[in-house]
Amino acid sequence: MAKVGRKRQSPIWDFFEYNSETDRSKCIVLEAGHNICGTVLKGKNPTNLKVHLRSSHRDANSEYLAKVAACSSTPGATQSEITSRRPTSIHETTIIDCFQGQTDRSWWSVNTQEHHKRENALVHMFIQTGMSTRLCDSIAFRKFSAALEPKFRSPGAARVNNLIGAKMEKAKHKLKEIINDARKLTLCVDGWSKRGLTASFMGVSACFYYPPGGQVYHALLNLHRIEHPHTGESIARCIDETLDAWSIHEDKVLLIVTDNGSNILKAVRLLKEKSQEQCEQSTDDLQAQPGGTGGGLDELWNESESEETDQEDEETGESGDLGECGDIYIY
């Protein structure tokens, strides 16, 4: 049984009953058909009860406001009851109206299609123009973006850099697959230094034909920053790192196009010697296997190799031969 307690003075309790044992307030407004509403609300906060009365029972709410107006004209009326009648003279703003208004003025969510479309266009603009992504953090750019589309919240420089990196990894993976399907490729190597020799760079690019797509590609594989001195060993190491990063075997390299710099020529010569050593090592490993030893087999190999060399010399003439491991030509 509910405890009686102190009698509540607010007119709102003419429409609700409070049970102190369950801490619940029950709506006792009569609806059509003389049925009690019976809505149960937690606690006894009058504000929640007023919201229910205003949203569900218009006639009862009008009766409640009339009682509040009568109480405000009598001495002893509370300030909260006097304030509650003021919305009758102006438009009443509900909580739902506030949330709807806030939603209309908010930005697009980062997961929406509209946001992704404009974000990708912004990233492509930085990729194709080479502009600095720090532009995204400037106040002028944010005002410009808001003027074009108020619902689009432009990302910061860190976000744009991450998106550019993700697109770079995706494009690199696709280019690896294309290079893997190519039969042969030509490497182009060139280096240059800034004025005053403050920094030096070496670019490694690849030209090749892609049979499945029937297209010729020229792709920049890597741009190395090299320190002084620019020795042939350091340049060879950069080229070797590029081949490893793109999973390109030396046998796939048909030509290496360079200038006449002695350091670059030495680097290519070192790569050629390394390729021949690896080929000789693999040949020795095959001969060391069971059935791979014996003088008769070696003599047969030498005879066939000499015959093939004589035939290739007659056919190729001045062009030269590729050798058993594939020599690297320098132009």
> What are the boundaries of each domain within the chain?
11-97, 113-172, 182-285+320-330
Rounded to an integer, the average pLDDT of 227-240 is 90
Confidence band of 285 (pLDDT split at 50, 70, 90): low
More confident residue, 20 or 316: 20
Sign of CA dihedral 80, 82, 83, 84: positive
Assess whether pLDDT exceeds 60 at residue 269.
yes
pLDDT at position 294? 45
Backbone angles phi, psi at 65, to 5 degrees: -65, -35
Tokens of 30: 């009569």
CA distance 65 to 70: 9
Rounded to an integer, the average pLDDT of 296-302 is 40
CA distance 217 to 226: 26
Q: Which residue's structure tokens are 């320098």?
A: 330
SS3 of the chain: the string is: CCCCCCCCCCHHHHCEEEECCCCEEEECCECCCCCECCCEEECCCHHHHHHHHHHHCHHHHHHHHHHHHHHHCCCCCCHHHHHCCHHHCCCCCCHHHHHHHHHHHCCCCCCCHHHHHHHHHHHHHHHHHCCCHHHHHCHHHHHHHHHHCCCCCCCCHHHHHHHHHHHHHHHHHHHHHHHHHCCCEEEEEEEEECCCCCCEEEEEEEEEEECCCCEEEEEEEEEEEECCCCCHHHHHHHHHHHHHHCCCCHHHEEEEECCCCHHHHHHHHHHHHHHHHHHHHHHHHHHCCCCCCCHHHHHHHHHHHHHHHHHHHHHHHHHCCCCCCCCCEEC
CA distance 302 to 298: 6
pLDDT at position 219? 93
pLDDT at position 63? 87
pLDDT at position 77? 52
More confident residue, 105 or 237: 237
Could you report the per-residue pLDDT of 21-40, keeping only the tens digit for each? Answer: 888 898 888 877 678 888 88
- Tell me the average pLDDT of the chain: 78
Confidence band of 280 (pLDDT split at 50, 70, 90): confident
Lowest mean pLDDT among 139-148, 199-208, 263-272: 263-272
Could you report the per-residue pLDDT of 75-118, keeping only the tens digit for each? Answer: 555 545 444 444 444 445 566 555 554 444 588 998 899 999 99
**CB-side exposure of 4: number of CA atoms within 13 Å?**
1
**Domain spanning 182-285+320-330, CATH architecture:** 2-Layer Sandwich (3.30)
Could you report the per-residue pLDDT of 155-200, keeping only the tens digit for each? Answer: 999 999 999 999 999 999 999 999 999 999 999 999 888 888 789 9
pLDDT at position 289? 60
Q: Could you tell me if 12 and 46 are in contact, meaning their C-beta atoms sit under 8 angstroms apart?
A: yes
Longest dimension (CA), the chain: 126
